[in-house]
Amino acid sequence: MKKNRLICVFLLIVSLIGCFAISSCKKKGEQSQGGSVDKIVLADFEEWAPDFQLLRLREEFGAIDVNTDVTFVKSGKQSAKLYVMGWDKGTDPYFYIQTTSEYFNFDYSNFNSVESISAWIYNPSQKEVKIGVGFVMDMTNLTKEDLARQEYFTLKNGWNEIVYRPNMSYIISSFGFDDYQGVKGVYFLFEKSGATTKADAPTYYVDDVVINYGEKQDIRQIKAGSYYPNGYLIGGSHGLIFKERIEMHLLVGKALHFEFKFGEGDGVFGFDILASDWANVTGKLRITKQGNSVTSNIGRIVEIGDGWYAWELNHSEFKGDGAHRARDVGMLYHQNFAVQASYVEIDWHTLSVVDAY
Ligand SMILES: [Ca+2]
């Protein structure tokens, strides 16, 4: 690794074209028989820069230290020691590793051929914990990352190999992308421990976070605007207000409408219906699927077919102080109500004003 870096510095000096070599020296790429890169080590934590330097902690995650105790090292001489706190009431703590860095001159954000993300995590406790793994899609505002769907894994005592095989079709559909480029980071989300100091925090160790490449994936358009798996807070960790809200005056005498579909089995999802002011909560929408029956606690459900339903709410049912005076519909805020179903797809492109029922 160190030797590679020296070679890269040399290349930088002799040639501007050397930037290609620079990017490959940031992380090791292993060659397959065809000569293409099989995998990229995103972080093996052997060096402070960039491995630790490019970790981003969110939602009062806690702390991450260098670990040199070989018991908790999977490769080389070091791993990262995680202290998970998360005392923020509303959101689960997570950290992510950037897939791009201008400073370190690499860019692995093209996920066209990504087969999986793998990582080794050591859980020293006998207590099993669940973690979520997913992608950060937008880092333009550091306090407001966009998190793509996550997959959950159980950490048993000892070493656990995590292999996350993302369904890129769903991910790009959620974010309105038309190809698989633009994945800005890989995140690891933990349950809140309630600890407020490092000494009290449960610890884990992570090593060898790797992007594994395979066949180039076909781009498949999914009808859904967003895909929410079990446990997902619709609206994300910071709540969500639509960028293109529906103006209240358009709703007068009409109804609000969007379309959704449940995955296998029974389930529930929901969120708050808001006007533009956070105080103007019309109600806490809960949509429930039991067997072949889909119902909602406010508004009405209309079966569309092919597993898809529409939810509608007449303007006259909008409540909350000043809701009728509000300029527009902010629509939703998660209020900690997570999806309880294999998954829910919501086609946000269908969000519209329709005739009252
Ligand atoms: Ca290591």
**Ligand 1 center to residue 317 CA distance, Å?**
57
Single out the residue of 9, 53, 3, 52 nearest to residue 28, CA to CA.
Answer: 3
Which of 155, 185, 213 marks a domain boundary?
213
User: Per the domain annotation, does 81 fall within a domain?
Assistant: yes
Whole-number pLDDT of residue 161: 98
**Ligand 1 center to residue 351 CA distance, Å?**
47
- Domain hosting residue 333, numbered range: 226-355
Which of 192, 213, 234 marks a domain boundary?
213
46 and 184, same domain (yes or no): yes
Single out the residue of 138, 67, 131 nearest to residue 98, CA to CA.
Answer: 138
The 3-state DSSP class for residue 28 equals coil
One-letter amino acid identity for 331? M
282 and 199, same domain (yes or no): no
Whole-number pLDDT of residue 76: 97
Whole-number pLDDT of residue 296: 96
206 and 232, same domain (yes or no): no
**Ligand 1 center to residue 209 CA distance, Å?**
9
Please, what's the largest Cα pairwise distance for the chain? Answer: 72
Whole-number pLDDT of residue 120: 98
**Ligand 1 center to residue 276 CA distance, Å?**
48
Number of domains in the chain: 2
Whole-number pLDDT of residue 14: 37
**Ligand 1 center to residue 43 CA distance, Å?**
8
The protein residues having their C-beta less than 5 angstroms from ligand 1 (an ion) are 44-45, 75-76, 207
Question: Token pair for residue 192?
Answer: 């809140």
> How many angstroms separate the CA atoms of 287 and 339, rounded?
10
**Ligand 1 center to residue 47 CA distance, Å?**
9
236 and 207, same domain (yes or no): no
**Ligand 1 center to residue 187 CA distance, Å?**
18
Tell me the residue length of the chain: 357
Whole-number pLDDT of residue 251: 83
172 and 39, same domain (yes or no): yes
**Ligand 1 center to residue 117 CA distance, Å?**
16
159 and 49, same domain (yes or no): yes
Unique residue bearing structure tokens 């329709």: 354
Whole-number pLDDT of residue 233: 76
264 and 321, same domain (yes or no): yes
**Ligand 1 center to residue 161 CA distance, Å?**
14
- Per-10-residue mean pLDDT for the chain, 357 residues long? 39 37 48 69 94 86 95 97 82 89 92 94 96 82 56 94 86 69 90 90 97 84 67 65 70 90 92 67 88 94 92 84 59 76 84 90
Whole-number pLDDT of residue 15: 37
Q: For residues 202 and 193, is the Cβ–Cβ distance under 8 A?
A: yes
Q: For residues 242 and 303, is the Cβ–Cβ distance under 8 A?
A: no
Whole-number pLDDT of residue 242: 59
51 and 171, same domain (yes or no): yes
**Ligand 1 center to residue 214 CA distance, Å?**
24
**Ligand 1 center to residue 79 CA distance, Å?**
5
**Ligand 1 center to residue 208 CA distance, Å?**
6
Tell me the C-alpha to C-alpha distance, in Å, between residue 296 and each of 88, 266, 336: 30, 14, 18
